[in-house]
Chains A and B, each alone.
Chain A
Amino acid sequence: MSANQPVLEIKNLKKYFEGNTDIVDMIMRREPSQIQAVDGVSMTLQENESVAVIGESGCGKSTLLRTLIGLHDISAGDIVYKGTPVSEFDKADWKEYRRNVQVIFQDPFNSLNPKMTVRESLAEPLDIHGIGNKEERVREVLEQVELQPAEKYLDRKPTNLSGGEKQRVSIGRALILDPDVILADEPVSMLDVSTQAAVLTKMKELINDFDVSMIYISHDLSTVSYIAETVKVMYLGRFVESARTKRLLEDPKHPYTEALVSAIPVPDPTYDRERTEMSGAPRDPIDIGEGCRFRDRCPEVIPPDDIEIDQQAYREIMSFREFLEREEVGLERIEKIVEVNERSALVDAVQREYFDHELTGKNESTLRSALTSLADGNEDLAIERLRERFESVCETTPPEVEAEPEWHVACHHHTEIDRTTVAGGGGTDATGDSGSDATGSVAHAEHQ
């Protein structure tokens, strides 16, 4: 292995699942819907490096991890392990890979087989790979994860271990084969704080001592700085921002990262944190098609530069159109409440329900005419009317650009074309602080 060859290289990795198809779909010979859980993810993991992948539940990070350990097939793209792509693996390569890529799961309570003693759990990987000298190795590892004296733990079953102890055994089991890569899925999130720090520090120490690289997956940005130098923020199957941990925490660039950072509670009653404005949860990644995946929640979604509109009001219009397109506007329900069978009353009611912010001038009249079409039962026309005036650049997929050295962002606020837009359009200022480098950098488009 050459000096600079990465341990693991993930190249435009995709993992799609087929959605449920019912009998109607089958008769109509419809294509099954695609759940785009991981949708074009690239990264490299150098020797001794630890990288965190952060995102809410449902963002695809766990699927990514499962694909990396070979529990899911790859839909497209590739994983390259020390120069050999997984797609070209033979049986022996797989064995080698499985030996060298180990995993630690989140839930300490179900990570160990309740019927097996600590000794058996630790020895299992050695058994599988036919490695002798088990007893010695098991004791050594117990010492390394600070479960001492070994005798005290060897014959215990998981029920007689505390959460922290269990997680240490899991860490030990991941280390026992002396792997190159450890994939950790929120290994401390279910532990009490008093042990959380200890387990984190231990993990950090071990990955240094053992020359292991790590991909650390979590929804919690507050502890990543203790374990990973680099952070990648994932949203609906794609990386939206990646940077050095410390800098990312201080100055998140992507609106989603901003929301994640700003939602973390600060343990200080005198500090007045602004709560996140963002609402809802990630949508299901089913047939989501083009565009920025965050646009249905993004507080900074970009209005066209030729219209003058309040950001929050624009957010509402975009969300409403999103609802329309997904056929989620409860027109019938609203009709029922309105009682009076009059079109304008219905239009008012819809507007009251979905819009809190005032609109003026042409914006207002466009919305009204769209709502009127909707009340007439012509949803497509309503969508079309709204799109015509309010279409956002965010409906095209933002390329990933290097906003600063070692700092990639995939958001139109940071692409070259949009900087002018933003300057003219107003309503957002997120690019203001990213420095002049952003303009100069060339998009290295991950998705065409």
Chain B
Amino acid sequence: MDIAKKVSDNALVRAISDQSRVKNVGDNYIVRNLWGGIRSMVNDRMTAFYFGILVTILLMGVFGPMLAPYGVEEIHFDPQTGQMLRAEPPSLAHPLGTTFNGYDVLTRLLIGARPTVLTGIIGGGMILSIGTAIGVTAGYVGGRTETLLMRFTDFVYGVPLIPFGIVLITFLGVGFIPSIMVIGLILWRGAARVIRAQTLKVKQYPFVQVAKASGASTPHIIFKHILPNVAPMAVFFLSLGVGYAIMLQASLTFLGVADPFIPSWGVMIRNAFNSGYMSTAWWWSAPPGLLIAITVLATFMFGRGYEGGDSETANNAIAA
């Protein structure tokens, strides 16, 4: 992992500096802040470490299926006895052992990376974008708009996740993408509230008032003053959202709201649990569990680093 991290770092740093050399793009205030933020974070050793982990997981999502030694539905048999390898402990042929159904765990792990990463990105992204859009609009525009948007947020707070999921899948059908959408469509509510509060605070700052007083338009103020200053908070919610999405997607699978045949890591744990081999076949349940934990932790810590960095940090994806 260390080498992977180094490589990715260097590639990234190069990419960043190339980026900023391109005149118009790199000089843009928003772009500069975004890259500046990431660069300063990469300079921080701990954040760089988590960043490395995230990149590795991302790479797993992209290249995992190609690296998988076996087919995902390939059932393995003992060449001597011809018996199905049911929950076999790790061996040379199957470094992480096999599952109850005789699948190779490593294969499933590598292939499962992609849906997991997708869940994180789409789920987290939805939480972030819906939450920020609603939070900032409500906070900045105020008045009736705010009341309306916040009532709506309160209403969403009242919606229980699981029943909503069940209702939604009756429309969209059981599936991988619908299960992520359930998450995204519900969980932005926390982000919206906090980002609205943050916006209200930033809005009171003299520099916003000065801009307003010298005739700046609302979009100008939102993009130049509000977003950059709520960005750390937004990124923090992105990281929380990614973690939530991955874990919730898994539990939705438990409930049958999501498609159990797309072997995301969450689904793997579910299968292990259902088979009753959860504790005996640790090689089956522990790796996906660990990977989920690491992903969530890395995103979370990375978000913290983004938030905690000094003024150099943070513009964000939405702004750019």
Are chains A and B touching directly in their complex (CB below 8 angstroms)?
yes
Q: Does B43 contact A (CB under 8 A)?
A: no
Q: Please, what's the 1-or-0 string for B281-320, where 1 marks a CB less than 8 Å from any CB in chain A?
A: 0000000000000000000000000000011101100000
- A112 contacts B209, C-beta separation under 8 Å: no
Interface residues of B in 83-131 (CB under 8 A from A): none
Residues of chain A within 8 A (CB-CB) of B206 are 105-107, 110-111
Q: Does B11 contact A (CB under 8 A)?
A: no
* Given contact pairs A110-B205, A115-B228, A115-B229, A159 touches B214 in the complex (Cβ within 8 A): no
Q: Does B76 contact A (CB under 8 A)?
A: no
Q: Does B158 contact A (CB under 8 A)?
A: no
* Given contact pairs A110-B205, A114-B229, A115-B228, A98 touches B210 in the complex (Cβ within 8 A): no
Residues of chain A within 8 A (CB-CB) of B228 are 113, 115
Given contacts A116-B29, A116-B224, 20 further A-B contacts (CB under 8 A): A69-B209, A70-B213, A71-B213, A94-B215, A98-B214, A99-B214, A103-B213, A103-B214, A105-B206, A105-B210, A112-B207, A113-B224, A113-B229, A114-B311, A115-B33, A115-B228, A120-B29, A128-B217, A158-B311, A177-B214
Q: How far is the CA of A105 from the CA of B214 in the complex (A)?
A: 13
Residues of chain A within 8 A (CB-CB) of B315 are 115
Among the listed A107, A120, A159, A173, which residue makes an inter-chain contact with B311, where contact means beta carbons less than 8 Å apart? Answer: A159
Residues of chain A within 8 A (CB-CB) of B311 are 114-115, 157-159
For chain A, which range describes its interface: under 10, 10 to 19, 20 to 34, or 35 or more residues? 20 to 34
Which chain A residue has the least Cβ–Cβ distance from B211? A124
Q: Please, what's the 1-or-0 string for A84-123, where 1 marks a CB less than 8 Å from any CB in chain B?
A: 0000000000110011011101110011111110001100
Binding site for B on A (CB under 8 A): 66, 69-71, 94-95, 98-99, 101-103, 105-107, 110-116, 120-121, 124-125, 128-129, 157-159, 170, 173, 177
Nearest 5 CB-CB pairs, A to B? A98-B215, A105-B206, A69-B213, A115-B228, A111-B206
- A124 contacts B215, C-beta separation under 8 Å: no
- B210 contacts A103, C-beta separation under 8 Å: yes
Q: How far is the CA of A124 from the CA of B310 in the complex (A)?
A: 22
Residues of chain B within 8 A (CB-CB) of A170 are 210
Q: How far is the CA of A99 from the CA of B225 in the complex (A)?
A: 19
For chain B, which range describes its interface: under 10, 10 to 19, 20 to 34, or 35 or more residues? 20 to 34
Q: Does B67 contact A (CB under 8 A)?
A: no
Residues of chain A within 8 A (CB-CB) of B255 are none
Among the listed A71, A94, A98, A113, which residue makes an inter-chain contact with B225, where contact means beta carbons less than 8 Å apart? Answer: A113
- A173 contacts B33, C-beta separation under 8 Å: no
Q: How far is the CA of A293 from the CA of B312 in the complex (A)?
A: 49
Q: Does B14 contact A (CB under 8 A)?
A: no
* Given contact pairs A110-B207, A112-B207, A116-B29, A124 touches B224 in the complex (Cβ within 8 A): yes
Binding site for A on B (CB under 8 A): 29, 33, 205-207, 209-217, 220, 224-225, 228-229, 310-312, 314-315
Q: List 14 A-B contacts (CB under 8 A).
A: A98-B214, A101-B213, A102-B213, A105-B209, A106-B206, A110-B205, A112-B207, A128-B214, A128-B217, A129-B214, A157-B312, A158-B311, A173-B210, A177-B214
Query: Chain B's nearest CB lies how many Å from the CB of A74?
Result: 15
Which chain B residue has the least Cβ–Cβ distance from A110? B205
Query: Chain A's nearest CB lies how many Å from the CB of B214?
Result: 5
Which chain A residue has the least Cβ–Cβ distance from B36? A115
Query: Chain A's nearest CB lies how many Å from the CB of B144?
Result: 15
Query: Chain B's nearest CB lies how many Å from the CB of A179?
Result: 9
Q: How far is the CA of A110 from the CA of B211 in the complex (A)?
A: 13
- A129 contacts B210, C-beta separation under 8 Å: no
Q: How far is the CA of A297 from the CA of B211 in the complex (A)?
A: 39
Determine which residue in A101, A116, A158, A170 has the highest number of CB atoms from chain B within 10 A of its CB, and name it: A116
Query: Chain A's nearest CB lies how many Å from the CB of B23?
Result: 15
Query: Chain A's nearest CB lies how many Å from the CB of B232?
Result: 10
Query: Chain A's nearest CB lies how many Å from the CB of B224?
Result: 7
Query: Chain B's nearest CB lies how many Å from the CB of A120?
Result: 6
Query: Chain B's nearest CB lies how many Å from the CB of A115?
Result: 4
* Given contact pairs A103-B209, A107-B206, A124 touches B216 in the complex (Cβ within 8 A): yes
Which chain B residue has the least Cβ–Cβ distance from A124? B211
Query: Chain A's nearest CB lies how many Å from the CB of B141?
Result: 15
